């Protein structure tokens, strides 16, 4: 149940659209995406360097990816709870230190002798995943609370649109240098970003809640102790499933789909991911304006989700015959899943200030964590259904849950966020 806070006004005046919190959140998400997708981009070349066979690159690569996603799942809970208990800024600082050091450690994987290099690689991606889990949710929560409600959708879209270009930089960094150097650069970017965060102030809404000693903050289990709140939470997660079906299956494993489609040219998953994120960045920048024009978060997301579904069907069943066409479809699907920032914003807007960071941080990372059952289902179905149909089954489940969730969740466009969850 939502109840108003005791304070009618936040402690700080509304920030401008291009204020320091928005700029720093965008740059933080830029580094986050760079590091999050770097393994997907260097998966094949890095595992080749470690001496793995093509079959091992597929199985071990998926395993390491799942360890990273498992870290995101656990980290989402950890940072989400801390964000409501200790403040949004504590998460922004703590998470970036964690994933920056883990990414630097990944650059030394070829030099590891004290354990199996692939085991070390998986462990470091797990730690990186824990760190990466905190960046987006805390940034979106902070921006949502410091911007006036009329600018929230555009502000969070700017954060995501600018941030998602980190995928493009990651791809070209690998091309210009090598995969080890790319990990070192990612860690260095994160540490450098800490200096920019010194001048960022805490959310006024959060400060108001900390003054109310009787209010419970960051109680993750409270999502499961109230039926209506649990349904709200699960629907928020469901909305995001199609996004990581596209990224985690169709783009990351695009080399397998390219072979199954009979494309003669070798498909580079790193390039497929890059084009997907180019589309995603443009889509995220557009989604805020679409939401403002339609005066509805739900209509904007449903429209983009339908757009994505059309191009997923084309990708799988319309006889793509060239690498260029496949990369073009990754670009189109990326634009469609450009409701990612809107989805995280909806998660933040669905819950009161005392649970908002927990919701906004755990929801996207629950979606990322669900890549694990997606990839496991895909791998299990491949022998009997083949690559294309196995991917299609995972997609059907993802989109069915996604459409049901967005069509039945409550609208949050223009919602006042200065309230508590009872």
Average pLDDT over residues 320-327: 94
Q: What string of DSSP letters covers 41-110?
A: HHHHHHHHHTT--HHHHHHHHHHHHHHHHHHHHHHHHHHHHHHHHT-HHHHHHHHHHHHHHHHHHHTTGG
At residue 312, the pLDDT reads 97
5 falls in which pLDDT band (50, 70, 90)?
Answer: very low
Point out which residues pair with 2 in neighbouring strands: 421
Q: Is the dihedral of CA 237, 240, 246, 252 positive or negative?
A: negative
Radius of gyration of the chain (CA): 20
Token code pair at residue 62 = 């998926």
User: What local confidence, expressed as pLDDT, does residue 358 receive?
Assistant: 80
Choose between 357 and 339: higher pLDDT.
339
User: Do 36 and 169 meet the contact criterion of CB atoms below 8 Å apart?
Assistant: no
User: In whole numbers, what is the pLDDT of the chain averaged over residues?
Assistant: 83
Q: What is the pLDDT of residue 84?
A: 67
Confirm if 106 and 239 have CB atoms less than 8 A apart. no
pTM of the complete model:
0.76
Structural domain contains residue 181: yes
Q: What are the tokens at 370?
A: 């669900």
Phi, psi of 254 (to 5 degrees): -60, -25
Those residues whose C-beta lies under 8 Å from the C-beta of residue 127, and which sit 6 or more positions away, are 71, 98, 99, 102, 105
Asked if residues 64 and 120 have their Cβ atoms less than 8 Å apart, the reply is no
Q: Is residue 5 part of a domain?
A: no
Is 360 part of a structural domain of the chain?
A: yes
The predicted pLDDT at position 197 comes to 61
Residue 252 lies in a domain: yes
Asked, for residue 292, whether it belongs to a domain, the answer is yes
pLDDT at 13: 43
Can you tell me the distance from the alpha carbon of 100 to that of 125, in angstroms, rounded to the nearest whole number? 11
Q: Record the tokens describing residue 3, joined without a space.
A: 């109840």
Torsion of CA 222, 76, 353, 283, to 10 degrees: -130
Strand ranges inside 187-308, DSSP E = none
Q: Is residue 7 part of a domain?
A: no
pLDDT at residue number 15: 52
| pLDDT per position as a tens digit, 106-137 | 999 988 888 999 999 999 999 999 988 877 76
Domain span including residue 147: 17-197+214-421
**pLDDT over 80 at 182, yes or no:** yes
- Of 35, 2, 237, 214, nearest in space to 130 by CA: 35
Judged by DSSP in three states, 262 sits in coil
**In the chain, what is the greatest distance between 2 CA atoms, to the nearest angstrom?**
65
Q: Is residue 3 part of a domain?
A: no
Flag whether 225 is in a domain: yes
Sign of CA dihedral 51, 54, 57, 59: negative
CATH number at residue 100: 1.20.1250.20
Q: Is 8 helix (H, G, I), strand (E, B) or coil?
A: coil
Q: Write down the pLDDT at residue 216.
A: 54
The answer to whether the beta carbons of residues 120 and 181 sit under 8 Å apart is no
pLDDT in tens, 285-305: 888 888 888 988 899 999 999
Which pLDDT does position 301 carry in this prediction? 95
Number of domains the chain is built from: 1
DSSP code, position 201: P
């Amino acid at each position: 149940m939502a109840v108003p806070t005791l304070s009618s006004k936040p402690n700080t005046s509304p920030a401008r659209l291009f204020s320091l919190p928005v700029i720093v959140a965008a740059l933080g998400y830029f580094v986050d995406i760079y590091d999050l997708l770097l393994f997907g981009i260097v998966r094949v070349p890095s595992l080749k360097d470690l001496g793995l066979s093509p079959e091992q690159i597929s199985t071990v690569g998926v395993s390491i990816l799942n360890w990273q996603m498992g870290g995101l799942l656990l980290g989402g809970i950890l940072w989400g709870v801390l964000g409501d208990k200790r403040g949004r800024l504590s998460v922004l600082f703590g998470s970036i230190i964690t994933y920056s050091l883990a990414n630097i450690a990944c650059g030394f994987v070829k030099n590891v002798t004290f354990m199996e290099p692939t085991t070390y690689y998986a462990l470091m991606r797990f730690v990186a995943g824990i760190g990466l889990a905190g960046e987006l949710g805390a940034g979106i929560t902070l921006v949502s609370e410091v911007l006036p409600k009329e600018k929230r959708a555009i502000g969070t879209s700017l954060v995501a649109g600018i941030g998602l270009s980190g995928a493009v930089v990651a791809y070209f960094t690998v091309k210009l240098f090598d995969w080890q150097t790319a990990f070192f650069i990612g860690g260095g970017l994160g540490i450098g970003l800490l200096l920019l965060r010194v001048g960022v102030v805490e959310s006024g809404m959060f400060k108001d809640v900390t003054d109310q000693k009787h209010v419970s903050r960051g109680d993750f289990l409270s999502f499961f102790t109230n039926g209506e709140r649990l349904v709200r939470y699960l629907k928020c997660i469901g909305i995001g499933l199609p996004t990581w079906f596209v990224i985690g299956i169709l783009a990351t494993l695009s080399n397998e789909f390219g072979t199954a489609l009979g494309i003669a040219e070798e498909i580079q998953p790193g390039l497929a991911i890059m084009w997907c994120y180019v589309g995603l960045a443009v889509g995220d920048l557009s989604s805020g304006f679409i939401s403002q024009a339609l005066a509805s978060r739900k209509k904007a997301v449903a429209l983009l989700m339908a757009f994505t579904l059309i191009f997923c069907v084309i990708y799988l069943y319309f006889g793509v015959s060239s690498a260029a066409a496949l990369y073009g479809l990754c670009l189109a699907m990326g634009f469609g899943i450009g409701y990612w920032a809107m989805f995280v914003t909806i998660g933040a807007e669905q819950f009161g200030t005392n649970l908002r960071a927990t919701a906004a941080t755990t929801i996207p990372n629950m979606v990322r964590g669900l890549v694990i059952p997606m990839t496991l289902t895909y791998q299990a179905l491949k022998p009997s259904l083949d690559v294309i149909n196995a991917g299609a089954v995972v997609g059907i489940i993802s989109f069915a849950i996604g459409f049901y969730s967005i069509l039945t969740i409550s609208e949050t466009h223009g919602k006042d966020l200065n309230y508590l969850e009872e």
